Structure 1
Amino acid sequence: MKAALMYGPNDVRVEEIPSPEYDSEGLLLKVEVVGLCGSDIRNLTTDSRKGDYPHIYGHEVVGTVAEIGDKETRFNVGDRLYVYPAVPCLKCEYCRAGNSHSCENLRLYDQTQGGFAQYMAVPSWGVNGPNIYRIPDEVPFETAVLSEPLSSVYACQDNVNVRLGQTVVIVGAGPIGTLHATLAKIRGADQVIMVEINDQRLEESLNFGVDHTINSTKVDPIEEVKRLTHGQGADIVISANPSTQAQTQAVYMVRSNGTLVFLGGVPRGKLTDIDTNYLHYHSIWTYGHYGSNTIQVKKAFDMIVSGRIEAKKFVSKIMPLDNLFDAILSMKSGKANKVLIKPWM
Structure 2
Amino acid sequence: MKAIILENGRPVLKEVPIPKLNPGDVLVKMKACGLCGTDVEKICGQYTASQPILGHEPAGIIAESTVDWLKEGDRVFAHHHVPDYECYYCKKGSPTMCPYYRKTNLDPGGFAEYFRVPAWNVSRGGILKLPDNVSFEEGSFIEPLATVIRAQRRVFIDKDDYVLVVGAGPMGLLHVMMAKVNGAGKVYVSDISDFRNEYARKVGADEAFNPKVVKVEDEVKKLTDGRGVDVAIIASGAPSAILTALYSVRKGGRVLLFGVPYKGTILNYDISNLLNNEISIISSNAAVEEDTREALKVISEKKIDVMKLVTHKFRLEEFNEAVRIAKEGKTIKAIIYD
Distance in 2 (CA, whole Å) between partners of 1:262 and 1:47 is 17
Identify the residue that residue 65 of structure 1 maps to in structure 2. 62
Identify the residue that residue 114 of structure 1 maps to in structure 2. 109
Alpha-carbon displacement from aligned partner over 1:223-246 (angstroms, at most 9, x marks no partner): 111222121111000010121122
Identify the residue that residue 25 of structure 2 maps to in structure 1. 26
Q: Is 1:154 equivalent to 2:153 in the alignment?
A: no
Distance in 2 (CA, whole Å) between partners of 1:110 and 1:282 is 41
Alpha-carbon displacement from aligned partner over 1:83-133 (angstroms, at most 9, x marks no partner): 122111011122223432222321455475211111111121121112211
Which residue identity is paired with 1:41?
A: V
Distance in 2 (CA, whole Å) between partners of 1:89 and 1:74 is 21
Distance in 1 (CA, whole Å) between partners of 2:105 and 2:264 is 22
Displacement of 1:38 in angstroms is 0.9
Identify the residue that residue 126 of structure 1 maps to in structure 2. 121
In 2, are the aligned partners of 1:56 and 1:116 still within 8 Å (CA)?
Answer: no
Distance in 2 (CA, whole Å) between partners of 1:120 and 1:194 is 37
Distance in 2 (CA, whole Å) between partners of 1:105 and 1:46 is 23
Which residue identity is paired with 1:61?
A: P
Does the residue aligned with 1:87 lie in a helix, a strand or coil? coil
Displacement of 1:43 in angstroms is 0.4
Which residue identity is paired with 1:63?
A: G
Does the residue aligned with 2:281 lie in a helix, a strand or coil? strand
Distance in 2 (CA, whole Å) between partners of 1:332 and 1:113 is 23
Displacement of 1:251 in angstroms is 0.8
Distance in 2 (CA, whole Å) between partners of 1:203 and 1:306 is 26
Q: Is 1:43 equivalent to 2:46 in the alignment?
A: no
Distance in 2 (CA, whole Å) between partners of 1:306 and 1:185 is 15
Distance in 2 (CA, whole Å) between partners of 1:48 and 1:267 is 7
Which residue identity is paired with 1:42?
A: E
Does the residue aligned with 2:321 lie in a helix, a strand or coil? helix
Deviates more, 1:105-114 or 1:89-98: 105-114
Q: Is 1:270 equivalent to 2:265 in the alignment?
A: yes
Q: Is 1:15 equivalent to 2:14 in the alignment?
A: yes
Distance in 2 (CA, whole Å) between partners of 1:137 and 1:212 is 36
Distance in 1 (CA, whole Å) between partners of 2:330 and 2:151 is 26
Per the alignment, do residues 48 and 163 of structure 1 end up closer, same or farther by CA in structure 2, a change over 3 Å counting? closer
Unaligned runs of 5+ in 2: none
After TM superposition, the score normalised by the length of structure 2 is 0.94
Which residue identity is paired with 2:62?
A: V
Alpha-carbon displacement from aligned partner over 1:34-61 (angstroms, at most 9, x marks no partner): 1111111100122769xx9xx6411001
Identify the residue that residue 188 of structure 1 maps to in structure 2. 183
Distance in 1 (CA, whole Å) between partners of 2:95 and 2:320 is 33
Per the alignment, do residues 111 and 144 of structure 1 end up closer, same or farther by CA in structure 2, a change over 3 Å counting? closer
Q: Which runs of 4+ in 1 moved over 6 A?
A: none
Identify the residue that residue 198 of structure 1 maps to in structure 2. 193
After TM superposition, the score normalised by the length of structure 1 is 0.92
Displacement of 1:32 in angstroms is 0.9
Does the residue aligned with 1:162 lie in a helix, a strand or coil? coil
Distance in 2 (CA, whole Å) between partners of 1:241 and 1:170 is 9
Matches within 5 A, 1:216-255: 216-255=211-250
Displacement of 1:341 in angstroms is 0.3
Aligned residues: 336
Does the residue aligned with 1:86 lie in a helix, a strand or coil? coil
In 1, are the aligned partners of 2:107 and 2:116 still within 8 Å (CA)?
Answer: no
Alpha-carbon displacement from aligned partner over 1:192-249 (angstroms, at most 9, x marks no partner): 1100000011011101110011100111112111222121111000010121122123
Alpha-carbon displacement from aligned partner over 1:123-149 (angstroms, at most 9, x marks no partner): 211211122110012321011111111
What percentage of aligned pairs have identical amino acids?
A: 32
Which residue identity is paired with 2:2?
A: K
In 2, are the aligned partners of 1:8 and 1:44 still within 8 Å (CA)?
Answer: no
Displacement of 1:294 in angstroms is 2.8
Alpha-carbon displacement from aligned partner over 1:5-32 (angstroms, at most 9, x marks no partner): 22223x2221211112220221111111
Distance in 2 (CA, whole Å) between partners of 1:270 and 1:310 is 34
